[in-house]
């Protein structure tokens, strides 16, 4: 196993903590909510052993990376600049980028907005969607005006933070279980718009081999130290990101990969985007759903994801 090393790197006016392994062409791995570089623990050594320099940052607001106080600095244009800025900071001109969950739109956006820096792009769980016709938060409020939707619950600063902080370990276990392939979706019930996220979710007690007690210990320690304010701020910038990307091209031209769990709730919500993906990403080399896997793609199915990533890297290197 290739050793994973850590350091902080200056980029876009802040410092980002990175986990890195290997030598060779640069592969950036961007994580989502509520995770950290650690969600790529199964991929870093494998990508490194295949002859690449694999780098997984703690995204802005997470882990040991800087956590700016200004909510607006968590818009995706700024987050993308953090990650693209790592490329010259690490001594490279270009990189391949692969992202999961929130890291997926960061990866897609980096490819779309910085084609001179991103030679190929992969995403897990979240398919590419071009800029919407209307501000996203406005659309969410119209669609979910009578029912609970977690992204709207996350909007008021301090509210979701208070609930998450009340019992970080239990809440992470609940949320991870809710998104996993093991969750029984027949148990899910709609609730009113004034409900909270987690109080009515049953604690599964354990998550199985994909997230062991030791893994949960790591995540719990990270969020105990960092808090949830930065991570939640990503959701609070949907409309600002929309305003800042009016001139976005609307297609991805680089070689691309998409992999998701067939039981991922995000795939159900993004069915239209998944169907239109080949048209919007014309150089889509890999487009696969992994059976029985939920949202935490690279953790629930590390061997399958590693196989797809190595196949993709072999095609674009």
Q: Copy the structure tokens of residue 69.
A: 């106080």
Beta bridge partners of 56: 19
Q: From CA 253, how far away is CA 231, in angstroms rounded?
A: 29
Cα angle at 194 between 200 and 127, to 5 degrees? 80
**Residue 40 tokens, joined:** 């790529």
* 39 neighbors 32 (Cβ within 8 angstroms): yes
146 is catalytic: no
Q: Is the preceding omega at residue 34 within 30 degrees of 0, hence cis?
A: yes
For residue 126, give every residue at least 6 positions away whose Cβ sits within 8 Å of its Cβ, in sequence order, or none: 99, 100, 101, 102, 104, 105, 108, 260, 266, 270
The active-site residue out of 58, 66, 82, 101 is: 101
DSSP character for 38? Answer: G
Rounded CA gap, 211 and 284, in Å? 30
| 3-state SS class at 276 | helix
DSSP secondary structure string, 219-253? HHHHHHHH-SHHHHHTGGGHHHHHHHTTT--SS--
Q: Vertex 279, ends 274 and 280: CA angle to 5°?
A: 75
Q: Which residues are within 8 A (CB) of 269 and not within 5 positions of it... i.e. 6 or more apart?
A: none
Q: Catalytic annotation on 101?
A: yes
CA gap 33, 38 in Å, rounded: 12
Chain CA centroid to CA 3, Å: 24
Active site residues: 101, 295
């Amino acid at each position: 196993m290739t050793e994973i090393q850590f350091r902080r790197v200056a980029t876009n006016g802040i410092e980002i903590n990175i986990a890195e392994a290997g030598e060779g062409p640069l592969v950036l791995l961007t994580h989502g909510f509520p995770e950290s570089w650690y969600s790529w623990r199964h991929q870093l050594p494998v990508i490194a052993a295949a002859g690449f320099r694999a780098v997984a940052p703690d995204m802005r607001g997470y882990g040991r990376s800087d956590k700016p106080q200004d909510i607006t600095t968590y818009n995706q244009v700024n987050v993308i600049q953090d990650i693209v800025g790592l490329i010259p900071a690490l001594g490279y001109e270009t990189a391949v980028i692969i992202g999961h969950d929130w890291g997926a739109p960061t990866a897609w956006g980096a490819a779309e907005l910085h084609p001179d820096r991103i030679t190929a792009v992969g995403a897990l769980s979240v398919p590419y969607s071009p800029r919407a016709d209307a501000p996203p938060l406005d659309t969410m409020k119209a669609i979910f005006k009578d029912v609970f939707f977690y992204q709207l619950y996350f909007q008021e600063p301090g509210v979701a933070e208070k609930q998450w902080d009340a019992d970080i370990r239990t809440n992470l276990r609940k949320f991870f279980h809710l998104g996993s392939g093991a969750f029984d979706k027949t148990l899910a019930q709609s609730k009113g718009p004034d409900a909270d996220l987690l109080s009515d979710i049953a604690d599964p007690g354990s998550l199985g081999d994909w997230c062991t007690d030791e893994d949960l210990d790591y995540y719990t320690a990270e969020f105990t130290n960092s808090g949830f304010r930065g991570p939640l701020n990503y959701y609070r910038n949907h409309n600002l990101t929309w305003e800042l990307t009016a001139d976005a091209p609307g297609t991805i031209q680089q070689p691309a990969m998409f992999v998701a769990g067939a039981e991922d709730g995000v795939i159900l919500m993004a069915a239209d985007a998944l169907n239109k993906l080949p048209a919007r990403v014309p150089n889509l080399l890999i487009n696969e759903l992994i059976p029985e896997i939920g949202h935490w793609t690279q953790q629930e199915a590390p061997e399958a994801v590693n196989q797809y990533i190595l196949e993709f890297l072999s095609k674009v290197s």
